[in-house]
């Protein structure tokens, strides 16, 4: 299956943590949250170079591990606040992490079972030959109400949307503006301020290219689930708000 070839890519922070936890079969007594945390961070570090977006998914668990590590070194110290594990004593945070990991492990196993079922079922083929001609006219009219013109409009619309999209993208590519840099820039601003209007995110003297890239950056952040968008009136200013990552 496809995932077996990407050996060093993990499907999420729990997947990586599970891998690290399971990898060391020996010396259980020697292992500690410190080792795990260090290994985890080392991995996230290499990942960060490869793909910042992927790495960001892993940071909450990294932060939790760090908290646990700190707690194990300095049990009396109070811990910095963490989003999901906020105000939670280290022990509880650990317990939650263990519970999450166990639940994830359970579903990973379940997924493997489902994959096996899917694989087995996909070796049995239903008949997709369609009806014999004599029955075709009896079939319900799945295209009821659809006109030829309607079909053409749908196709033209798709094609046009796609075309504009590509043209815009090509246009931007010509300018030395990195979308990823803008994504980072917008994300940084939002991290500091929580929310901002689109008009505030683009400089007053921004070129059309910069405007477009900033807008694309906002769409990209929206797609990644990092920001929410709100526009009160048509053609009005757009509010971009950072989303607390409580659902990670």
Partner 1 sequence: MSDRTEELRGPLEALLFVSDEPVNAARLAKILDADPVEVDKALRELSDEYADEERGFQLREVAGGWRMYTHPAHHPYIEQFVLSWDTRRLSQAALEALAVIAYHQPVSRGGVNAVRGVNSEAVIASLVEKGLIRETGRDKNAGNAILYATTRAFLEKFGLKDLAELPPLEEFAPDPDTERAIRERLNALDGPTLADEDVEDDEDDDKCEDSIDDVE
Quick check: 24 binds partner 1 (CB under 8 A)? yes
Quick check: 42 binds partner 1 (CB under 8 A)? no
Residue 45 or 194: the one with the smaller Cβ distance to partner 1 is: 194
Residue 186 or 220: the one with the smaller Cβ distance to partner 1 is: 220
Quick check: 149 binds partner 1 (CB under 8 A)? yes
Which value, to the nearest 10 degrees, does the dihedral of the CA atoms of residues 245, 239, 170, 182 take?
-60
What residues from 65 to 124 belong to the interface with partner 1 (CB under 8 A)? 68-69, 71-72, 75, 91, 94-115, 117-118, 120-124
Q: In angstroms, rounded to a whole number, what is the distance separating the alpha carbons of residues 62 and 54?
A: 13
* Binding region for partner 1 (CB under 8 A) out of 41-49, 184-192, 199-207, 225-233: 225-233
240: left (phi over 0), alpha (psi -120 to 50) or beta: beta
Quick check: 11 binds partner 1 (CB under 8 A)? yes
User: Among residues 49, 144, 205, 232, which is the contact residue for partner 1, using CB under 8 A?
Assistant: 144
Q: CB 194 → partner 1: shortest distance, Å?
A: 11
Which value, to the nearest 10 degrees, does the dihedral of the CA atoms of residues 225, 41, 30, 103 take?
10
Quick check: 50 binds partner 1 (CB under 8 A)? no
| Per-residue tokens: 212 | 């477009």
What residues from 228 to 247 belong to the interface with partner 1 (CB under 8 A)? 228-230, 241, 243-247
Binding mask 164-193 for partner 1 (x = CB under 8 A): -xx--xx-xx----xxx-------------
Q: CB 46 → partner 1: shortest distance, Å?
A: 18
Q: CB 205 → partner 1: shortest distance, Å?
A: 22
Strands (E) located in the chain: 195-197, 227-231, 238-242
Q: In angstroms, rounded to a whole number, what is the distance separating the alpha carbons of residues 217 and 209?
A: 12
Residue 230's φ and ψ, nearest 5 degrees, are -145, 130
CA 38, 44, 45, 46 torsion: positive or negative? positive
Alpha-carbon distances of 114 from 4, 14, 109, 123, rounded to whole Å: 16, 20, 9, 14
Residue 125 or 205: the one with the smaller Cβ distance to partner 1 is: 125
């Amino acid at each position: 299956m496809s995932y077996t070839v990407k050996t060093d890519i993990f499907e999420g922070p729990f997947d990586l943590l599970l891998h690290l936890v399971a990898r060391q079969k020996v010396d259980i007594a020697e292992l500690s949250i410190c080792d795990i945390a260090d290994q985890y961070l080392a991995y996230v570090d290499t990942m960060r170079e490869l793909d910042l977006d992927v790495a960001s998914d892993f940071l909450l668990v990294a932060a939790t591990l760090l908290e646990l590590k700190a707690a194990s070194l300095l049990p009396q110290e109070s811990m910095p606040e963490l989003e999901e594990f906020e105000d939670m004593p280290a022990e509880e945070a650990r317990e939650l992490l263990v519970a999450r990991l166990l639940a994830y492990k359970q579903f990973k196993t379940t997924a493997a079972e489902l994959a096996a079922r899917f694989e087995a079922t996909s070796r049995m083929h239903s008949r997709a030959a369609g009806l014999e001609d004599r029955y075709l006219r009896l079939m319900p009219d799945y295209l009821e109400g659809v006109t030829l013109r309607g079909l053409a409009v749908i196709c033209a619309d798709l094609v046009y949307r796609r075309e504009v999209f590509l043209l815009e993208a090509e246009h931007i590519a010509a300018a030395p503006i990195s979308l990823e840099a803008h994504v980072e820039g917008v994300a940084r601003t939002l991290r500091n301020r929580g929310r901002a209007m689109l008009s505030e995110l683009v400089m007053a003297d921004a070129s059309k290219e910069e405007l477009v890239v900033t807008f694309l950056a906002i769409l990209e952040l929206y797609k990644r689930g990092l920001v929410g968008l709100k526009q009160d009136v048509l053609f009005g200013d757009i509010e971009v708000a950072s989303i607390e990552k409580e659902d990670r």
